[in-house]
Amino acid sequence: MLTKRLAATVVAAGALAGCSALPLSEGDDAVRTLGEARGLALPPADAATARVPDEIDHDAAVRIALGRNPELMAALSSIGFGAADVYEAARIANPMIDVARLDSDASGRLETFGIVFAFTDLLTLGARRNLAAADFTALQHDVAMHAMQTAIDARHAWFDYAAALELEALQAQVSETGIVSAELAARFRSAGNLTPRELAEQQAVSAAVRVDAIGAARRAAEARADFADALGISSGGSWQLSGTLQQPPRELTALEPVLAAASTRRMDLAAERMSADAQAERVGGENWSRWLGGLSIGGEVEREPDGTRLKGPSLSIGLPVFDTGRGRVARQQAALIQAGAAVQRVELDIENGLRRAHARLAAAYEQSQTQRDFLLPARARATSEAAAQYNFMLIGVFELLEVKQRENAGWQDYVASNRAYWQAHVELAAAAGHVLDVPQTSPLSLPGARAQPLAPHSGRDMPTHHEDNDDPNARHAMPEHHDHGAEQCRHDAN
């Protein structure tokens, strides 16, 4: 009677397990929910086939990357593996059927039929199902974290490309200034007002800034390719960036609120904690299940040669005599120690990563503010004063060009500092486990008309050699005055 009840229990458990569905959609929904709670909206599945817009701002970059990035698509597909593990953990091994047919020359034929169920699977079914569910939840957090990192990488690449374009334009302006300087030097040399050494120096400076311009163009092309890689699109498309770098906000993002929220927002930390808890359950389960050995129950029917039928239950037990499972327990305990260490590692990474990112953010913020409020205005005043001195022939045109080039270099440093600020902002978001909003601030007020290459004033005479005066500006006509030096000199084509 007891055997019949056990067999009925096994059959009922197997039937109930067979009715459970593959939890694939539940896993996908959980990943979306985790992302939305952290400011991340995963696009629909058909986003990968959507048309790439002609203009991409930093928010559009995140949307495109979440729908097209191949690595993210592969990570999302791993939900299927986790769902399969949950599905299989809710099942017991299929029953084994044993059929034998033995013939005897003396007494006739003996037939045997038996069916065996792995009863150990039934005893451990609940534990296996719980562990698989915990692993599936941890996997969902891992996948959501991958999506978060994809969004962060896309925004980081956008700021890098935007800065590269700005630096390319600024360096091109500096290169034009160098070209003008070299042309002027050649004309002054033809008039006898420059020595060969001075001409060579001006030509070397011009060539150097042109080399720098080529390097800036190369870095912009590389930044475009890196940006396209982050989004999962072709860099050869007709798309362009929408918008430019913005100025940092007036107030620096505080560290403490971000640090306090990171422990609950970081999905990789949650995943590691879940994995550690699941591993602790494995250790506990291994401690008692190792004594079970192989346990199976079943029934057997035997028909004797004379037609007599024999039937009854069967029981098979593996005795833990030679192998008591201590090795399996030790292995699971070692894995538990590793899981605890992984949790501690992520906790340290969160705090140290946040402090490191915030230190970079603060340094870039201070650099940008100092350049904007002090350095660049001082450079502009120096250029204005140099232009005024040039107007009154107190300095030569090459000195004026040199001052202007230093101002242009200051603008390049300013763009680099702003790039460093926004990249640190993105890194802070990565360490915090949340997509931090980009504050709406004013775009960088990069030089426009004043960034055009300097050239000799219109209306001046061509320099001619004067034996009694070594000043190359001694034969200049008095040029018209330019207010504050803000307007650039134009080259005299004649």
**What whole-number distance in Å separates Cα of residue 273 and Cα of residue 425?**
27
3-state class percentages of the chain: helix first, strand second, coil last, to nearest 5: 65, 10, 25
Residue with tokens 């890196």: 226
User: 12: which 2 tokens?
Assistant: 């009922």
Q: Is the pLDDT of residue 114 over 50?
A: yes
Rounded to an integer, what distance in angstroms lies between the CA atom of residue 39 and that of residue 371?
33
| Mean per-residue pLDDT, 372-394 | 91
Q: Are strands 108-118 and 240-241 parallel, antiparallel or unpaired?
A: unpaired
User: Which amino acid is it at 204?
Assistant: A
Beta-carbon contacts of 1 under 8 Å, excluding residues fewer than 6 positions away, are none
Q: Is the pLDDT of residue 447 over 80?
A: no
CA angle 86, 91, 94 (to 5 degrees): 145
- What would the mean pLDDT of 90-119 be, rounded to a whole number? 76
Provide the 3-class DSSP secondary structure of residue 199.
Answer: helix
> Which two structure tokens, joined as six digits, stand for 357?
């990112």
CA 389 from centre of chain: 51
Q: Cβ-count burial of 415 within 10 angstroms (0-12 exposed, 13-18 middle, 19+ buried)?
A: buried
Residue 473 predicted with pLDDT over 50: no
Q: Which residues are registered as beta bridge partners of 104?
A: 108
Measured CA to CA in angstroms, residue 487 lies from 118, 147, 397 at distances of 90, 49, 15
Task: Please give the pLDDT value at position 453.
Answer: 33
**Res 309 pLDDT > 80:** yes
Please answer whether residues 323 and 220 qualify as being in contact, where contact means their C-beta atoms are separated by less than 8 angstroms: no
Residue 335 and residue 278 in contact, taking contact as beta carbons nearer than 8 Å? no
Amino acid at 188: F
Mean pLDDT of 370-393: 91
Q: Looking at residue 216, what is its pLDDT?
A: 94
**Confidence label for 455 from pLDDT (cuts 50, 70 and 90):** very low
The mean pLDDT value of the chain amounts to 79
| Average of per-residue pLDDT across 69-80 | 89
Helix (H) or strand (E) holding 274: helix 267-289
Digit-coded pLDDT (tens) for 121-138? 777 777 778 888 888 888
428 CB-near residues (< 8 Å, 6+ apart): 253, 258, 354, 357, 358, 361, 436
> Please, which residues have CB within 8 angstroms of residue 469's CB and are 6 or more apart in sequence?
none
Pick the most confident of 6-20, 52-66, 76-90, 270-284: 52-66
Q: Give the lowest-confidence range in 32-46, 170-184, 218-232.
A: 32-46
| 3-state class (DSSP) for residue 239 | coil
Buried b / exposed e over 93-125, threshold 16 CB at 10 Å, is eeeeeeeeeeeeeeeeeeeeebbbbbbbbbebb
- pLDDT at residue 459, as a whole number: 31
